[in-house]
Amino acid sequence: MARNAERVYDEYLTVLARSGDRGAFAALFRRWNPRAVRHANRLLGDADTAADAAQEAWLSAVRGLARLDDPAAFPAWFLGIVGRRCADRIRKNRRGRKLATAAAADPTFNGAQTPPPGGEPALTAAIRALPPVQRAVVGLFYQDGLNTAETGRALGLSEAAVKSRLHAARETLKSVIARRER
């Protein structure tokens, strides 16, 4: 794992936060909350629900930070908590999700989150079309800068599974973008 200044700073803040430094925890929150919300939004597809899941993840992180053995593991550890809070919300809202899926499948449904034709860049639209796990892997790896091992820890996947999903996602993205450009 490449340790750049940002990673070292996060490790430093994690060590201080583990020892009870509220300022350090606040700094971790400022640095990682946007990523937590973005990751939750990738998994849940709803900005408000994602923000709530991220808040729940921070509460879990406060309670469990003392048990984090390796401060360098903070990114994967914390984003794994975010993923579990999202999974909790998905389980709780399974019935509502089934109704939303049925509504979205209805050709007469024009949901507010559906962008107008041509209103979204091709890559963004293609990423949105990926299956949720592939979308999460792509986001953690490319947007959040986690390596394959960290992405695997955050999502509860093996490193080989992450590499496989990244490969499949890249192939899907290539084909979707190629179709749109024709």
Residue type at 160?
A
Contact 169, 42 (CB under 8 A): no
Residue type at 84?
R
What CATH topology corresponds to 115-182? Arc Repressor Mutant, subunit A (1.10.10)
Q: What are phi and psi of 131, to 5 degrees?
A: -60, 150
Residue ranges per domain, the chain?
A: 1-113, 115-182
Report pLDDT digits (tens) over 128-138.
888 888 888 98
What CATH topology corresponds to 1-113? Rna Polymerase Sigma Factor; Chain: A (1.10.1740)
Q: Do domains 1-113 and 115-182 have the same CATH topology?
A: no
Residue type at 38?
R
- 27-31, 63-67, 100-104, 140-144: segment of lowest average pLDDT: 100-104
pLDDT the model gives residue 14: 95
Is 45 in a helix, a strand, or coil? coil
Contact 177, 124 (CB under 8 A): no
Query: How confident is the prediction for the chain on average, in pLDDT?
Result: 83
pLDDT the model gives residue 121: 75
